[in-house]
């Protein structure tokens, strides 16, 4: 069995030990590295090239959001699951815009984090139910709902894959077209919908029930 390779970044030794124990206890996972601050995390991830990273949002030096952005820029195939105590929309938007594939609260059950890692490893997006309402409130309509527009079949497909966390190069390969073509579909779809950031795209995807579960 090929195990899912996981890197753990958290500034609390007890938390790191707990996460390592939880992950290594899974038959299909193993921890391949760990770090206690953002800069060390980025360096270690570049060296180890794990499949998924558990990224604490609040760490010394560069924080989890900046570390996530650097990881996604330098290692686009590495998926990042943010682990945090923050439940407000600002942090959720910050991490999604940075490129995180998952957002899990520290008060969540251990099984939820394991599930988030598996979902992220597939290139999909996991949002903790505790903050999912920040994307789609109980009314069923997203906060600050954006005007709808009719997308072409290909524009919708590209936007859905981007919301799920797939890199542009991977989407281009999957659809057998050039990277610039994918970027054109993305730009056109976002312009039609009035979307400005990846967080906007994920919110739209949540409204359309495109996200992994």
> What is the architecture of the domain spanning 4-132?
3-Layer(aba) Sandwich (3.40)
pLDDT of residue 209: 72
Q: Which of 16-30, 103-117, 131-145, 167-181 has the lowest mean pLDDT?
A: 131-145
Residue matched to tokens 């409204």: 207
pLDDT of residue 212: 54
Q: Which of 35-39, 70-74, 168-172 has the lowest mean pLDDT?
A: 168-172
Inter-residue contact 84 to 106 (CB < 8 Å) = yes
Distances (CA, A) of 24 to 36, 44, 112, 171, 190: 19, 18, 15, 31, 40
Q: Where in the chain is the domain with CATH 1.10.10.10?
A: 153-207
| Backbone angles phi and psi of 32, in degrees to 5 | -110, 0
**Among 73, 6, 93, 98, residue whose Cα is nearest residue 44:** 6
At 52, is the secondary structure helix, strand, or coil?
A: strand
Residue 183 has pLDDT above 60, yes or no: yes
For the segment 182-196, the average pLDDT, to the nearest whole number, is 87
Residue 67 has pLDDT above 60, yes or no: yes
Nearest-angstrom CA–CA distance, 19 and 50: 15
pLDDT of residue 91: 83
Residue 16 has pLDDT above 80, yes or no: yes
Q: Which of 30-44, 97-111, 151-165, 198-212 has the lowest mean pLDDT?
A: 198-212
Q: Where in the chain is the domain with CATH 3.40.50.2300?
A: 4-132
CATH code that applies to domain 153-207: 1.10.10.10
pLDDT of residue 146: 46
Order of strands across the sheet that contains 126-127: 29-35, 4-9, 52-56, 79-84, 102-105, 126-127
pLDDT of residue 25: 95
């Amino acid at each position: 069995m090929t195990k899912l390779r996981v890197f753990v970044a958290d500034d609390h030794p007890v938390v790191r030990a707990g996460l390592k124990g939880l992950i290594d206890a899974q038959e299909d996972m193993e921890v391949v590295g760990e770090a206690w601050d953002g800069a060390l995390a980025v360096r270690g991830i570049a060296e180890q090239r794990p499949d998924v990273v558990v990224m604490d949002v609040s760490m010394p030096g560069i924080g989890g959001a900046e570390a996530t952005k650097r990881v996604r820029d330098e290692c686009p195939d590495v998926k990042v699951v943010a682990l945090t105590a923050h439940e407000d929309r600002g942090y959720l938007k910050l991490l999604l815009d940075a490129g995180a594939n998952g957002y899990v609260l520290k008060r969540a059950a251990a099984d939820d984090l394991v599930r988030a890692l598996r979902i992220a490893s597939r290139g999909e997006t996991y949002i903790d139910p505790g903050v999912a309402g920040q994307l789609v409130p109980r009314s069923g309509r997203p906060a600050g709902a954006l005007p709808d527009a009719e997308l072409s079949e290909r524009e919708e497909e590209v936007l859905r894959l981007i919301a799920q966390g797939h890199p542009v190069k991977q989407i281009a390969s999957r659809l057998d077209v050039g990277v610039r073509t994918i970027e054109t579909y993305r730009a056109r779809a976002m312009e039609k919908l009035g979307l400005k950031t990846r967080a906007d795209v994920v919110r739209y995807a949540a409204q359309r029930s495109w996200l992994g579960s």
